[in-house]
Amino acid sequence: MTSLWLRDHRPEPASSPRPGEQYDHVVVGAGLTGLVTALLLARAGGSTAVLEARHPGAVATGNTTGKLSLLQGTRASAIAARHGRETLRAYVDANREGQSWLLRYCQDHGLHVDRESAVTIATERGDTGAVDAEFRACRAAGLPVRKATPTELPFRTADAVELPEQAQLDPILLLTTLISDLREHGGELYSGTRVRDVRPKATLGGRGPLRVCLDDDATLEAGSVVLATGTPLLDRGGFFGRLHARRSYSVAFELSEPVPRSMYLRAGDPTVSLRYAWRDRQRVLLVGGFGHDVGRAGSEQAHVDSLVDWATTHFPSAVPRERWSAQDYDSIDRLPYVGPLLPGDDRVLVATGFAKWGLTNGTAAALAMAGRLLGGHQPWARPLRTWRPSELTSLPSAASLNAAVSYRMASGWTRLAMSKLRRNEATPCPVRPVCTHLGGVLEWNDTESSWDCPLHGSRFAADGRVLEGPATRPLHPKPLHPKRPPDAVPHSARPE
Ligand X SMILES: Cc1cc2nc3c(=O)[nH]c(=O)nc-3n(C[C@H](O)[C@H](O)[C@H](O)COP(=O)(O)OP(=O)(O)OC[C@H]3O[C@@H](n4cnc5c(N)ncnc54)[C@H](O)[C@@H]3O)c2cc1C
Write the CB contacts of 98 (distance below 8 Å, at least 6 apart in sequence).
Answer: 359, 360, 361, 362, 363, 364, 365, 366, 367
* Cα 432 from Cα 477, distance rounded (Å): 6
List 38, 40, 49, 51, residue binding ligand X (CB under 6 A): 51
* Closest approach of ligand X to the CB of residue 92, in Å: 14
Considering only residues 352 to 391 of the shown chain, the ones binding ligand X according to CB under 6 A are 354, 356-360, 362
Nearer to ligand X, 217 or 496 (CB): 217
* Cα 430 from Cα 426, distance rounded (Å): 11
* Stretch 290-329: interaction string toward ligand X, x if CB under 6 A: ------------------------------------xxx-
* Cα 458 from Cα 451, distance rounded (Å): 8
* Closest approach of ligand X to the CB of residue 166, in Å: 10
* Cα 151 from Cα 135, distance rounded (Å): 19
For position 262 contacting ligand X by CB under 6 A, the verdict is no
Binding-site size for ligand X (CB under 6 A) equals: 39
Nearest Cα neighbor of 59 from 358, 431, 441 is 358
For position 60 contacting ligand X by CB under 6 A, the verdict is yes
Q: Which helix (H) or strand (E) holds 89?
A: helix 85-108
DSSP 493: G
Neighbours of 317 (CB within 10 A): 10
* Closest approach of ligand X to the CB of residue 460, in Å: 13
Nearer to ligand X, 88 or 416 (CB): 88
* 81 in Cβ contact with 88 (< 8 Å): no
List 58, 169, 307, 435, residue binding ligand X (CB under 6 A): 58
Nearer to ligand X, 347 or 459 (CB): 459
Residue number of the CB atom closest to ligand X:
358
Considering only residues 449 to 478 of the shown chain, the ones binding ligand X according to CB under 6 A are 472
* Stretch 326-345: interaction string toward ligand X, x if CB under 6 A: xxx-----------------
List 229, 386, 394, 447, residue binding ligand X (CB under 6 A): 229
Phi-psi bin for 311: left (phi > 0), alpha (psi -120 to 50), beta? alpha
Write the CB contacts of 28 (distance below 8 Å, at least 6 apart in sequence).
Answer: 34, 50, 51, 195, 198, 212, 225, 226, 227, 228, 229, 233
* Closest approach of ligand X to the CB of residue 209, in Å: 19
DSSP letters for 245-280: EEEEEEEEEE-SSPPP-SEEEESSSS-EEEEEEEET
List 189, 228, 277, 442, residue binding ligand X (CB under 6 A): 228
For position 61 contacting ligand X by CB under 6 A, the verdict is yes
* Closest approach of ligand X to the CB of residue 61, in Å: 3
For position 98 contacting ligand X by CB under 6 A, the verdict is no
Question: Which range in 114-122, 182-190, 351-359, 369-377 contacts ligand X by CB under 6 A?
Answer: 351-359
* Cα 232 from Cα 213, distance rounded (Å): 15
* Closest approach of ligand X to the CB of residue 30, in Å: 5
Neighbours of 162 (CB within 10 A): 21
Nearer to ligand X, 290 or 421 (CB): 290
Q: Which residues of 55-80 are buried (b: 16+ CB within 10 A; e: fewer)?
A: bbbbbbbbbbbbbbbbbbbbbbbbbb
Peptide bond into 270 cis (omega under 30): yes
List 48, 64, 74, 176, residue binding ligand X (CB under 6 A): 64
List 9, 75, 89, 194, residue binding ligand X (CB under 6 A): 194
For position 447 contacting ligand X by CB under 6 A, the verdict is no
Nearer to ligand X, 71 or 255 (CB): 71
Cα 27–chain centre separation: 16
* Stretch 9-38: interaction string toward ligand X, x if CB under 6 A: -------------------xxxxxxx----
Nearer to ligand X, 118 or 145 (CB): 118
Nearest Cα neighbor of 96 from 127, 66, 62, 69 is 69
Nearer to ligand X, 265 or 416 (CB): 265
**If 0-12 CB within 10 Å is exposed, 13-18 middle and 19+ buried, where does residue 203 land?**
exposed
For position 288 contacting ligand X by CB under 6 A, the verdict is yes
Q: What is the residue type of 398?
A: A
Contacts to ligand X by CB under 6 A: 28-34, 51-54, 58-61, 64-67, 194-195, 228-230, 233, 248, 250, 288, 326-328, 354, 356-360, 362, 472
